[in-house]
Amino acid sequence: MKTLLALDKVNAFYGAAHILHGLSLHVNEGERVALIGRNGVGKTTVVNTILGLASLRGGDIRLRDYALTKPRTYIAAQHGIVVVPQGRRIVANLTVEENLQLGAATGRKGHWTVPRIYELFPILQERAHTPGTALSGGQQQMLAVGRALMANPALILLDEPTEGLAPVIVDQLGRIFNQVAAQGTALLLIEQNMTLVARVAERFCAMAKGAVVAEGRVHEGSLDELHRHVMV
């Protein structure tokens, strides 16, 4: 099985603040991995380091066979790795459909098209010509996921995708994530909702103090173990 993303002993900083301390993790083709841990342990910094928003000052990052020595926001997408960012970041002056089209800017070909996104999220078709930021929080998250899929990625990094959403929307997103994974797209799910993690992920990596400190399979009955890694 081919590795899509690998971080090996990565050290990352914001200015003088040392956030990631020798962090190592990987995601293989078609895998569903959860990155869990308490608030403030550096989970989002993993994403920001890949995008070049945090400073990589040690260790190695590989996107498939490509050595990411100077991370930039666009490089990961060129290699089939896209991000659904924390906070969604919907472009305010664009419609729903225009936001979706942004995701296709990398030019990667595949089966995800606007009509396919509308099949997955019918509400987006109903609101296609509405400003993206006029949607509800749950609908904006669907738009953010749809925009990422438009890049036809091999791997999606989902940074706290259910934050602030109602349980019924979380359940719907869980079904969607599993549908996307069933069609071959790998997932790295950064999430505080352990029920969702147990439902979607096959494997977990638990972080503490900027490093992965535990890994394991997600299986029926593993909810208590997952909760131990996120309890404050």
> What's the confidence (pLDDT) of residue 105?
84
> What's the confidence (pLDDT) of residue 227?
82
Three-state secondary structure call for residue 13: strand
Cα angle vertex 124, ends 201, 189, to 5°? 15
Q: Where are the domains of the chain?
A: 31-53+72-228
Paired tokens of 211: 């490093």
CATH fold of 31-53+72-228 reads Rossmann fold (3.40.50)
Q: Please list the alpha-helical segments (H only) found in the chain.
A: 43-51, 75-78, 96-102, 114-120, 122-126, 137-149, 167-182, 194-200, 223-228
> What's the confidence (pLDDT) of residue 220?
67
Average pLDDT estimate for 121-144: 93
Average pLDDT estimate for 17-35: 97
Question: Which residues lie closer than 8 Å to 22 by C-beta, 6 or more apart?
Answer: 9, 10, 11, 58, 59, 211
Residue of 73 and 145 predicted with greater confidence: 145
> What's the confidence (pLDDT) of residue 222?
73
Question: pLDDT for 60-116, tens place per residue?
Answer: 999 999 999 999 988 999 999 999 988 778 988 899 999 999 888 887 888 899 999
Half-sphere exposure of 63 (CA within 13 A, CB side): 23
Contact 205, 33 (CB under 8 A): yes
Would you say the C-alpha torsion 150, 154, 157, 162 has a positive or negative sign?
Answer: positive
Q: Output the pTM of the full model.
A: 0.92
> What's the confidence (pLDDT) of residue 2?
93
CA distances to 63, 120, 187, 189 from 44, in Å = 18, 27, 15, 11
Question: pLDDT for 27-64, tens place per residue?
Answer: 999 999 999 999 899 999 999 999 999 999 999 999 99
Paired tokens of 186: 């790998």
Q: Average pLDDT, whole number, for the chain?
A: 92
> What's the confidence (pLDDT) of residue 86?
84
pLDDT at 201 over 60: yes
Contact 64, 14 (CB under 8 A): no
